[in-house]
Structure 1
Amino acid sequence: MRVLTTLWTYKPHLLRTGLRIVQVHARRQWSSIAPKAEETRTEPIFTQDYVQINNAMHYKDSWTNVTPSILARTTRKLHLHPAHPLSIIRQEIENHFGTFTPLNNFHPVVNTKQNFDDLGFPKGHVARSTSDNYYLNENIMLRAHTSAHQLQGLRSGSSKFLISGDVYRRDEIDASHYPVFHQMEGFQYFDMHPTVTEQQVMADIKSQQALSASSIDLADSTLINADNPLQARHPEACVQPVIAHLKHSLNALIRRLFRHEPNLKVRWIDAYFPFTSPSWEMEIFYQGEWLEICGCGIVKQEIMDQGGQPDKIAWAFGFGLERLAMVLFSIPDIRLFWSQDERFLSQFVSNQIVKFQPFSKYPPCIKDISFWLPSEQWSENDFCEVVREKAGDIVEDVKMSQWLFAAIALLFAALVRWMVALGPYSGARTPPMYGDYEAQRHWMELTLHVPIKEWYTHDLSWWGLDYPPLTAYVSWICGVVGQVIMPKWFALYDSRGYEDAESKFFMRSTVMACEMIFYIPALVYYFKRIVKGYSLKQQDYMLMIALLQPALIIVDHGHFQYNAVMLGLSLCAFNCLATHRFITAAVFFSLSLMFKQMALYFAMPIFAFLLSQCFRQQNGFLLFVKLGIAVVATFGVCLYPWVLPVSDLLQVAHRVFPIARGLYEDKVANVWCALSVILKLKSLLSVERCIQISLAMTFVGLLPSCIDLFRKPTHQKLIYALANCSLAFFLFSFQVHEKTILLPALPILLLLPIEGDAVILFQNWAMFSMFPLLSREKLQLQYFSLFVLWNWLQQQTRPSESGSSVTRMLHAASFTIMAIWHVLQVTTPPPPRFPDLYTVTNCILSCAVFCLFYLYLHHRQFTLADIGVNLTDPVFRGVYRGKTLHA
């Protein structure tokens, strides 16, 4: 049976309702789970007041959330059934580590000290949450990992042991998750002496060499660094042999387990675990993606102290037996391991790995059920527990989706954009040259009527085309549609300055359409698919905040531009990098560069990330060649009409990079404009010298972030590096405009899950920095409306607990400074000697804030080891609007 729940959750003070409607789609799927046989074992006693299990009585309290069906699993011990797939995997691992002591009978009921305190989890840590664990009461629980018995193993007297057992975590309902699963971990310690493991290491190396004929492709490019450090109490000469011993042991185990898997790819990557350092994960390439199968590392010395072995050094690893068995036995559904159907159990024989054969001939039957849930206090796992308790394992799938909230957010975001579009725009009714609106309209006129070879040379005195070819192609498509509707809108020469209501509606519609095609889907994909580990409600709130980012709305739909196309293509590239689709990412980013040259702000971190992947992967050179071909081909297709003669290509480059315009344009909140108050470089130095200085400063500004990203190319560091490098370009590069603050605003917006308060603060200052430009275009009403609306909405969607006192102080100080500036700007005219006083003050204040953000985000990127999270990790947690969520 398949259960799909559609959950519509409302914020009571936003939509005034306290109920949720849940729609359930049920499918009977006989190929997966057969009806349960009668249980013959004595089950734990579950009453209204207490739970009795393992001859101990535990009284319930407010923490109790364990259910009878979960308690019933504690007696099954699937990992000890000789012919069960989980037991076969356990035996394989035990046979490989033949000299290790197996410890397989620890009872799953433990106290919170064993499960958390002994392993260094602080009080209040999110991993202790009742939404993720099963509690009998506040102090007693079902173990969440076999590491709860590490100290018992240490005190057993054995220097090397294996622990296996069933573990319990509240989880969603689908084919790959189950609230009860099985772990197996290994532990070995040595004397803390540099030469103690040399012989064992050499033996493992010889063992691995003996298996070198295996078709397994095993890659290890991990390094010890500040993000994955050695422990202070471990001399490098002592710990390096232990690391080598761990890796050789696990490499040999993987070769043994997957000896019959053709052309299997395995890789080591750096990781973070609270009780090991340094830490790593092993991944296999399975069904088109990398699948984590093992976590391991050097055990924290504090654990060794508690175990009475302060002078020893140890490694530990952990496997999920279900994940290994699903791959090796080709078992498609994790719940099949609990089946007592002979058609399943009879397929397996002890000490043999065979492929599972589906045994049902019945087709699925889909049914829909709808019902109401009171209040919004339940978590998704609470609902899954009710479904699991009532329907058991015949429920195949439960998915929560708040599509109504997301749809409302999208419609509301579109409404806000249209309301902004009703106002003025750049150059409205200001002949002779008008403004950006006329430029965009003219390019549609130009591409419709002028031969393509002349697009970059035709009548440059009237808004000559100065963006890359993809902008021209999009203008041509819009022009074709507009000409069909009303040819006079784009009549050659005669349409210059055309501004009737119908043409303005069409032009505004093209901006909306481009954003809906390029930017909105990429943003939705990022917050709904790339950012994981949050509830659907949290994802929707973050998406709504991102959709209503005021700076982009007022520039594209107020001022009038198509920045969302460039940003959307760049965001598509970021999403592809996060999902390891590197060639596709290269194509998307090349298209972004071909739409607007300002996408170069993101070029260096993307180059560093991809180059690092080429060095780290087994077929890195082939990847490098493919990336080069993808980039050259994309550029070639876009630039094809101007490739020959070379003078045409040079004219395109000359128009796209107008170095003659000067160091910066108007009053912009970057370093050069702020310095001009005391040092006017534009007057003191030639344009060439200014270019050289700005290039040098930009390169210096982005180099540290790129080097760090190259050394450790994680997806989270990529987002930070994109923010840092685009800020470096904005602050130090040549020919910067106020609107280019939109480029660093994008990756900083993507940090919303982990830098919530900082993201809000930056976006507010980005908006404030553009006020002089917006006020010249009479967009003050739109500016203040968006500013107030966005800050009010993000305040409504933040958790009940507010941010730290520091963040509250920073927000209060920022609002105070902005308010004072705005009041003075309206009420007190500037002195005649300094007519640009308020504009320059705005630039200096904004520049100072952006410089502080530049330093802060670098600090965050370089100290990510302290955060220990990853945007694509299924258990990723962060800091969302002041609330600590990282695990």
Structure 2
Amino acid sequence: MAATAVDRGSWFPSLAVGVSLLKALFINSYHSTDFEVHRNWLAIAHSLPVSRWYHENTSEWTLDYPPLFAWFEFGLSHVARHFDDKMLAVDNLNYASPATVLFQRLSVIFADVLFIYAARECCRCVRDRKATRDVFHRPSFVLAVLLLWNFGLLIVDHIHFQYNGFLFGFLLLSVAKHMQSQHLQGALLFAILLNLKHIYLYVAPAYGVFLLRSYCFTQDHRDGSIKWTSFSPFRLLALGGIVAGVCALSFGPFIAMGQLPQVLSRLFPFKRGLCHAYWAPNAWALYNVLDKSLATLGVGLKLVNETTLPRASMTGGLVREFQHAVLPSVTPSVTLVCTLLSILPALASIWRRPRGAGGFLRCLLVCALASFTFGWHVHEKAVLIAVLPLSLLAVESREDAGIFLLLSTTGHYSLFPLLFTPAELPIKCALMLMFTIFSFAALGRLHSTKNCKMLYEDSPFSGQASLLRAPEVAYLSGLLALAVACELVFPLSPWQRKLPFLPLLATSVYASLGVCYSFVRLYVTLLRRDGVRKSKQL
């Protein structure tokens, strides 16, 4: 194992430096409105007192992240003023000088140092095979590439513009700490993450149940069996103290100023509607298109009066505010109930039969995909919360590798509409192809029946020779045809003026099928592993 550590010390920095240089090439590329969002937040944090941060509304892009992220922007602003202090004026809307662009792009690249460190820690948690002849056959190397060179992060952070890599650094580092049995450190990192971006509440149930069951209950090895019967109130107090301390540090000043309701109203704006402007590929996209189809069919059969239908349901394409015409409209409470019901079996599974960090990670993925599939006003970028952690399982299990290939290919393609300018078309296509080809080739080689010894010895899937089943291959082939139609054929067709939203609709609906199927398949693996473990115990 010492040789492995030396080898890793040589190739990991090369991967990290290489991807950082690639990110630097995108500095002058297209950026979305999120660029102005974060410039505005820099200005708010730098120019206004804390008491005004969550009240300021000069720009439509008001501060709607938790307080720790506002303090992160505050820290960045003190560096930003050395580049161009005009970017820190609250009323200087849509300001994007060359110095501003340079600073914002570099800030994302340098913040990714945390993600690089987290990826390194995750690679340390993966067991390399002793008989591996070269580095390209090592799970740790494949995992490093899947994380550091992830297509979704590259385009969302370094072209579209966001700080997801910085945030995922906390998540992956937290997962790595739990895999190393450093549970208090993992809990601390996740508590910090929640106070940086509250979207990670998606996976909070997995953390809560896992830590309560596997950390607060200690193992009893009497009679040659393991029983989880000894409850430690001191461990529970330690966990509670960590969470309470981080939340007090984050929200305490706003509670003292009596502004907690105002902050929460910014964090949870339920009036934004069921779906984002571009429908995320989830169950509600399928629900919406079914409603549109029924409405169109009803009008054609003269069963429904077109004048009585909500305008958006027939002519608006993909819109933010969506009123269903035929099917019952969905409320935030309905999405919450659907999400909770979908994660309960997974939570019950790791509560009844704790399986260490592996079971926790699988439950985390179920919670992430369930929230993405059934959540309220889900953004398409949230699929990365499942794709990135799934990389850890993909290098260790043949079945999980197949799910990863399907979910990552579908989820990454669903991000294509974020980059809609012609100049970025060859960039996103080239990056997507490189990442996808590497994923298929590396994971296929890693789990080939000739060379692969399963790292999960109790896996019920070790006899399968192919990572993907025939229907899954056919689905991904259809995804390629859809990409050609939407990106190359449609812009040249007369339909572009009549139905400009059609590519978005087709992408959302087709990708929804793949994401929902991946969610079901992931759940099946969780329950089947649970069943295999139970039968062995019997």
Whether these two folds match at TM > 0.5 is yes
Partners of 2:205 and 2:473 in 1: CA distance: 35
Partners of 1:651 and 1:701 in 2: CA distance: 31
2:81 corresponds to 1:439: no
> How many Å apart are 1:638 and its aligned residue?
1.0
User: SS of the residue aligned with 2:238?
Assistant: helix
More helix by share: 2
Partners of 1:630 and 1:477 in 2: CA distance: 23
The letter of the residue matching 2:63 is L
> How many Å apart are 1:831 and its aligned residue?
7.3
2:112 corresponds to 1:515: yes
Residues 350-369 of structure 1 deviation map (CA, whole Å, 9 limit, x = unaligned): xxxxxxxxxxxxxxxxxxxx
Provide closer, same or farther for how the CA distance between residues 636 and 824 of structure 1 changes in structure 2, counting only shifts above 3 A: same
Query: Which residue in the other structure is 1:863 paired with?
Result: 528
> How many Å apart are 1:778 and its aligned residue?
5.8
> How many Å apart are 1:455 and its aligned residue?
0.3
Provide closer, same or farther for how the CA distance between residues 820 and 515 of structure 1 changes in structure 2, counting only shifts above 3 A: same
Partners of 1:827 and 1:702 in 2: CA distance: 40
Partners of 1:450 and 1:623 in 2: CA distance: 41
2:295 corresponds to 1:630: no
More strand by share: 1
Provide closer, same or farther for how the CA distance between residues 669 and 796 of structure 1 changes in structure 2, counting only shifts above 3 A: closer
Partners of 2:84 and 2:525 in 1: CA distance: 53
Query: Which residue in the other structure is 2:299 paired with?
Result: none
Provide closer, same or farther for how the CA distance between residues 809 and 778 of structure 1 changes in structure 2, counting only shifts above 3 A: farther
User: SS of the residue aligned with 2:390?
Assistant: helix
User: SS of the residue aligned with 2:121?
Assistant: helix
Query: Which residue in the other structure is 2:382 paired with?
Result: 740
The letter of the residue matching 2:20 is A
> How many Å apart are 1:850 and its aligned residue?
1.1
The letter of the residue matching 1:767 is H
Among 72, 79, 82, which residue is 1:484 paired with?
82
Query: Which residue in the other structure is 1:573 paired with?
Result: 174
> How many Å apart are 1:579 and its aligned residue?
2.2
Among 515, 520, 537, which residue is 1:850 paired with?
515
Among 74, 93, 99, which residue is 1:502 paired with?
99
> How many Å apart are 1:424 and its aligned residue?
0.6
Provide closer, same or farther for how the CA distance between residues 689 and 864 of structure 1 changes in structure 2, counting only shifts above 3 A: closer
Q: Residues 109-258 of structure 1: matches in 2 within 5 Å?
A: none
Partners of 2:328 and 2:48 in 1: CA distance: 33
Among 155, 158, 162, which residue is 1:561 paired with?
162
Provide closer, same or farther for how the CA distance between residues 521 and 506 of structure 1 changes in structure 2, counting only shifts above 3 A: same
Among 652, 661, 671, which residue is 2:263 paired with?
652
Provide closer, same or farther for how the CA distance between residues 800 and 708 of structure 1 changes in structure 2, counting only shifts above 3 A: closer
**What is the TM-score normalised by the length of structure 2?**
0.80
Residues 371-400 of structure 1 deviation map (CA, whole Å, 9 limit, x = unaligned): xxxxxxxxx7xxxxxxxxxxxxxxxxx964
> How many Å apart are 1:611 and its aligned residue?
1.4
The letter of the residue matching 2:39 is R
Q: Say whether the 8 Å CA contact 2:31–2:160 is kept in structure 1.
A: yes
The letter of the residue matching 1:408 is S
The letter of the residue matching 2:45 is T
User: SS of the residue aligned with 1:595?
Assistant: coil
User: SS of the residue aligned with 2:29?
Assistant: coil
The letter of the residue matching 2:13 is A
Q: Say whether the 8 Å CA contact 1:447–1:475 is kept in structure 2.
A: yes
> How many Å apart are 1:625 and its aligned residue?
1.3
Query: Which residue in the other structure is 2:363 paired with?
Result: 721
Partners of 2:441 and 2:128 in 1: CA distance: 21
User: SS of the residue aligned with 1:775?
Assistant: coil
Provide closer, same or farther for how the CA distance between residues 550 and 621 of structure 1 changes in structure 2, counting only shifts above 3 A: same
2:134 corresponds to 1:534: no
Query: Which residue in the other structure is 1:751 paired with?
Result: 393
Partners of 1:709 and 1:729 in 2: CA distance: 18
**What is the TM-score normalised by the length of structure 1?**
0.49
Among 297, 313, 323, which residue is 1:683 paired with?
323
Q: Residues 607-646 of structure 1: matches in 2 within 5 Å?
A: 607-614=208-215, 616-617=217-218, 618-646=230-258
Provide closer, same or farther for how the CA distance between residues 540 and 867 of structure 1 changes in structure 2, counting only shifts above 3 A: farther
Provide closer, same or farther for how the CA distance between residues 415 and 761 of structure 1 changes in structure 2, counting only shifts above 3 A: farther
User: SS of the residue aligned with 2:65?
Assistant: coil
Query: Which residue in the other structure is 2:479 paired with?
Result: 818
Provide closer, same or farther for how the CA distance between residues 485 and 663 of structure 1 changes in structure 2, counting only shifts above 3 A: same
Query: Which residue in the other structure is 1:768 paired with?
Result: 413
Q: Say whether the 8 Å CA contact 2:202–2:368 is kept in structure 1.
A: yes
2:246 corresponds to 1:585: no
Q: CA RMSD in A?
A: 2.7
> How many Å apart are 1:584 and its aligned residue?
1.9
2:424 corresponds to 1:827: no
Partners of 1:633 and 1:800 in 2: CA distance: 43
Among 677, 692, 697, which residue is 2:338 paired with?
697
> How many Å apart are 1:417 and its aligned residue?
2.0
User: SS of the residue aligned with 2:394?
Assistant: coil
2:201 corresponds to 1:600: yes
User: SS of the residue aligned with 2:290?
Assistant: coil
User: SS of the residue aligned with 2:63?
Assistant: coil
Provide closer, same or farther for how the CA distance between residues 751 and 438 of structure 1 changes in structure 2, counting only shifts above 3 A: same
User: SS of the residue aligned with 1:484?
Assistant: coil
Identity percentage over the alignment? 23
Partners of 2:328 and 2:84 in 1: CA distance: 44
Q: Say whether the 8 Å CA contact 2:67–2:251 is kept in structure 1.
A: yes
> How many Å apart are 1:761 and its aligned residue?
2.6
User: SS of the residue aligned with 2:276?
Assistant: coil
Provide closer, same or farther for how the CA distance between residues 782 and 514 of structure 1 changes in structure 2, counting only shifts above 3 A: same
Q: Say whether the 8 Å CA contact 2:323–2:329 is kept in structure 1.
A: no
The letter of the residue matching 1:486 is D
> How many Å apart are 1:580 and its aligned residue?
2.4
Query: Which residue in the other structure is 1:664 paired with?
Result: 275
Provide closer, same or farther for how the CA distance between residues 777 and 634 of structure 1 changes in structure 2, counting only shifts above 3 A: farther
Q: Say whether the 8 Å CA contact 1:613–1:620 is kept in structure 2.
A: no
Q: Say whether the 8 Å CA contact 1:522–1:571 is kept in structure 2.
A: yes
2:351 corresponds to 1:710: yes
Partners of 1:502 and 1:777 in 2: CA distance: 25
> How many Å apart are 1:465 and its aligned residue?
0.3
Provide closer, same or farther for how the CA distance between residues 702 and 460 of structure 1 changes in structure 2, counting only shifts above 3 A: farther
Query: Which residue in the other structure is 1:423 paired with?
Result: 29
Partners of 1:698 and 1:776 in 2: CA distance: 35
Residues 640-674 of structure 1 deviation map (CA, whole Å, 9 limit, x = unaligned): 2201243x111010001110101110222111122
> How many Å apart are 1:732 and its aligned residue?
0.3
Partners of 1:756 and 1:463 in 2: CA distance: 39
The letter of the residue matching 2:190 is F
> How many Å apart are 1:575 and its aligned residue?
1.7
Q: Say whether the 8 Å CA contact 1:604–1:725 is kept in structure 2.
A: yes
Provide closer, same or farther for how the CA distance between residues 400 and 811 of structure 1 changes in structure 2, counting only shifts above 3 A: farther
Give the number of the structure with larger relative contact order, counting CA–CA contacts within 8 Å between residues 6 or more apart: 2
> How many Å apart are 1:459 and its aligned residue?
2.3
Q: Say whether the 8 Å CA contact 1:614–1:621 is kept in structure 2.
A: no
> How many Å apart are 1:483 and its aligned residue?
0.6
Query: Which residue in the other structure is 1:223 paired with?
Result: none
Partners of 1:576 and 1:779 in 2: CA distance: 37
Q: Say whether the 8 Å CA contact 1:551–1:767 is kept in structure 2.
A: yes
Partners of 1:833 and 1:550 in 2: CA distance: 32
Query: Which residue in the other structure is 2:60 paired with?
Result: 462
Provide closer, same or farther for how the CA distance between residues 641 and 443 of structure 1 changes in structure 2, counting only shifts above 3 A: same
Q: Say whether the 8 Å CA contact 1:701–1:728 is kept in structure 2.
A: yes
Partners of 1:703 and 1:594 in 2: CA distance: 25
> How many Å apart are 1:827 and its aligned residue?
1.5
The letter of the residue matching 1:592 is L
2:505 corresponds to 1:840: yes
> How many Å apart are 1:532 and its aligned residue?
2.0
Provide closer, same or farther for how the CA distance between residues 477 and 800 of structure 1 changes in structure 2, counting only shifts above 3 A: closer
Provide closer, same or farther for how the CA distance between residues 474 and 534 of structure 1 changes in structure 2, counting only shifts above 3 A: farther
Range 497-506 or range 731-740, more displaced: 497-506
